[in-house]
Protein backbone atom coordinates (compact mmCIF):
# COMPACT_ATOMS: atom_id res chain seq x y z
CA UNK A 1 0.00 0.00 0.00
CA UNK A 2 1.38 3.43 -0.93
CA UNK A 3 0.39 6.62 0.85
CA UNK A 4 2.20 9.47 -0.92
CA UNK A 5 1.52 11.97 1.85
CA UNK A 6 2.88 9.78 4.63
CA UNK A 7 5.59 7.65 3.02
CA UNK A 8 5.24 4.00 2.11
CA UNK A 9 3.27 1.71 4.40
CA UNK A 10 4.25 -1.96 4.37
CA UNK A 11 1.98 -4.59 5.90
CA UNK A 12 3.05 -8.20 6.31
CA UNK A 13 0.00 -10.09 5.06
CA UNK A 14 0.81 -13.39 6.76
CA UNK A 15 1.09 -11.98 10.25
CA UNK A 16 -0.89 -8.72 10.02
CA UNK A 17 0.81 -7.84 13.28
CA UNK A 18 3.42 -5.42 12.00
CA UNK A 19 2.98 -2.12 10.29
CA UNK A 20 5.92 -0.11 9.09
CA UNK A 21 6.02 3.39 7.62
CA UNK A 22 9.04 4.09 5.47
CA UNK A 23 9.98 7.53 4.18
CA UNK A 24 12.33 7.06 1.22
CA UNK A 25 15.04 9.64 0.58
CA UNK A 26 14.02 12.12 -2.06
CA UNK A 27 16.45 12.32 -4.96
CA UNK A 28 16.73 15.88 -6.17
CA UNK A 29 17.65 16.47 -9.80
CA UNK A 30 21.21 17.82 -10.03
CA UNK A 31 21.55 21.41 -11.21
CA UNK A 32 22.11 22.14 -14.89
CA UNK A 33 25.25 24.15 -14.04
CA UNK A 34 28.43 22.38 -12.98
CA UNK A 35 29.39 22.70 -9.32
CA UNK A 36 32.81 24.27 -8.78
CA UNK A 37 34.72 24.38 -5.53
CA UNK A 38 35.42 27.97 -4.50
CA UNK A 39 38.99 26.96 -3.59
CA UNK A 40 41.07 23.77 -3.42
CA UNK A 41 42.85 24.00 -0.07
CA UNK A 42 43.60 20.39 0.93
CA UNK A 43 43.85 17.33 -1.33
CA UNK A 44 44.38 13.66 -0.53
CA UNK A 45 43.54 10.16 -1.75
CA UNK A 46 41.20 7.94 0.25
CA UNK A 47 41.11 4.21 -0.51
CA UNK A 48 38.18 1.86 0.00
CA UNK A 49 40.05 0.12 2.83
CA UNK A 50 40.76 3.40 4.62
CA UNK A 51 37.17 4.57 4.29
CA UNK A 52 35.84 1.19 5.48
CA UNK A 53 38.09 1.29 8.55
CA UNK A 54 37.01 4.82 9.41
CA UNK A 55 33.31 4.06 9.07
CA UNK A 56 33.59 0.80 11.02
CA UNK A 57 35.44 2.56 13.85
CA UNK A 58 32.77 5.27 13.87
CA UNK A 59 30.07 2.61 14.18
CA UNK A 60 31.86 0.54 16.85
CA UNK A 61 32.69 3.57 19.02
CA UNK A 62 29.44 5.38 18.10
CA UNK A 63 31.32 8.47 16.95
CA UNK A 64 29.43 11.15 15.01
CA UNK A 65 32.26 13.14 13.41
CA UNK A 66 35.01 12.70 10.84
CA UNK A 67 37.68 15.39 10.82
CA UNK A 68 40.49 16.03 8.36
CA UNK A 69 43.25 17.56 10.49
CA UNK A 70 46.86 18.60 10.01
CA UNK A 71 49.40 17.13 12.40
CA UNK A 72 53.17 17.43 12.02
CA UNK A 73 52.99 17.86 8.25
CA UNK A 74 50.51 15.05 7.54
CA UNK A 75 46.78 14.96 6.83
CA UNK A 76 44.90 12.67 9.21
CA UNK A 77 41.29 11.59 8.99
CA UNK A 78 39.99 11.13 12.52
CA UNK A 79 36.64 9.69 13.59
CA UNK A 80 35.73 11.22 16.93
CA UNK A 81 33.17 13.09 18.95
CA UNK A 82 34.45 16.62 18.55
CA UNK A 83 32.26 17.82 21.44
CA UNK A 84 33.93 15.42 23.88
CA UNK A 85 37.69 15.79 24.46
CA UNK A 86 37.84 12.40 26.19
CA UNK A 87 35.97 10.40 23.52
CA UNK A 88 37.51 7.44 21.73
CA UNK A 89 38.98 8.19 18.34
CA UNK A 90 40.51 6.42 15.37
CA UNK A 91 42.85 8.06 12.83
CA UNK A 92 44.40 7.25 9.46
CA UNK A 93 47.14 9.24 7.71
CA UNK A 94 46.05 10.03 4.13
CA UNK A 95 48.50 12.63 2.86
CA UNK A 96 50.96 15.42 3.48
CA UNK A 97 50.35 19.12 4.07
CA UNK A 98 51.97 22.40 4.96
CA UNK A 99 48.69 24.06 5.99
CA UNK A 100 46.89 24.26 9.31
CA UNK A 101 43.25 23.14 9.31
CA UNK A 102 40.47 21.19 10.95
CA UNK A 103 37.76 20.25 8.46
CA UNK A 104 34.76 18.58 10.11
CA UNK A 105 32.19 16.28 8.51
CA UNK A 106 29.29 14.35 10.00
CA UNK A 107 29.76 10.59 9.62
CA UNK A 108 26.14 10.32 8.49
CA UNK A 109 26.96 12.50 5.44
CA UNK A 110 29.73 10.21 4.18
CA UNK A 111 27.60 8.00 1.94
CA UNK A 112 29.66 7.00 -1.06
CA UNK A 113 30.02 3.84 -3.11
CA UNK A 114 33.09 1.70 -2.40
CA UNK A 115 36.19 2.76 -4.29
CA UNK A 116 39.23 4.98 -4.13
CA UNK A 117 38.54 8.71 -4.09
CA UNK A 118 40.52 11.84 -4.76
CA UNK A 119 39.27 14.21 -2.07
CA UNK A 120 39.56 17.97 -2.42
CA UNK A 121 38.46 20.19 0.46
CA UNK A 122 37.70 23.89 0.28
CA UNK A 123 37.89 26.20 3.27
CA UNK A 124 34.51 27.51 2.05
CA UNK A 125 32.90 24.43 3.69
CA UNK A 126 32.56 22.18 0.66
CA UNK A 127 34.42 19.05 -0.42
CA UNK A 128 34.54 16.97 -3.60
CA UNK A 129 35.02 13.19 -3.60
CA UNK A 130 35.93 12.04 -7.14
CA UNK A 131 35.98 8.29 -7.71
CA UNK A 132 39.06 6.80 -9.36
CA UNK A 133 37.11 3.60 -10.13
CA UNK A 134 33.83 4.92 -11.52
CA UNK A 135 32.42 8.00 -13.18
CA UNK A 136 31.22 9.42 -9.84
CA UNK A 137 31.65 12.70 -8.06
CA UNK A 138 30.15 13.57 -4.67
CA UNK A 139 30.01 17.01 -3.09
CA UNK A 140 29.80 16.83 0.69
CA UNK A 141 29.30 19.84 2.94
CA UNK A 142 31.60 20.50 5.89
CA UNK A 143 30.43 21.54 9.32
CA UNK A 144 30.43 25.31 10.05
CA UNK A 145 33.01 24.96 12.84
CA UNK A 146 35.71 23.91 10.35
CA UNK A 147 38.84 26.07 10.34
CA UNK A 148 41.65 26.82 7.90
CA UNK A 149 44.84 28.78 8.40
With residue 53 as reference, give the H or E element that holds it.
helix 48-61
Q: pLDDT, tens digit, for every residue of 104-142?
A: 999 999 999 999 999 999 999 999 999 998 899 999 999
Q: Determine contact, residues 125/141, Cβ cutoff 8 Å.
A: yes
pTM for the model stands at 0.78
Query: How many Å apart are CA 114 and CA 134, to the nearest integer?
Result: 10
Q: What pLDDT does 88 receive?
A: 94
Of residues 133, 103, 108, 100, the one with CA closest to residue 118: 133
Confidence of residue 19 (pLDDT cuts 50, 70, 90): low
Could you read off the pLDDT of 33-70 as tens digits, one per residue?
888 899 999 999 999 999 999 999 999 999 999 999 99
Pick the CATH number of 42-148 from 3.40.50.920, 3.20.20.140, 3.40.630.30, 3.70.10.10: 3.70.10.10
Q: Where are the domains of the chain?
A: 42-148
Amino acid sequence: MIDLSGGVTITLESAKKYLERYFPNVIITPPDKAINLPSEDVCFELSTEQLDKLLKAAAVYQLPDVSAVDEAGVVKLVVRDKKNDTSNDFAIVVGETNSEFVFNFKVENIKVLPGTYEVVVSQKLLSRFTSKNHDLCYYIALEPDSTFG
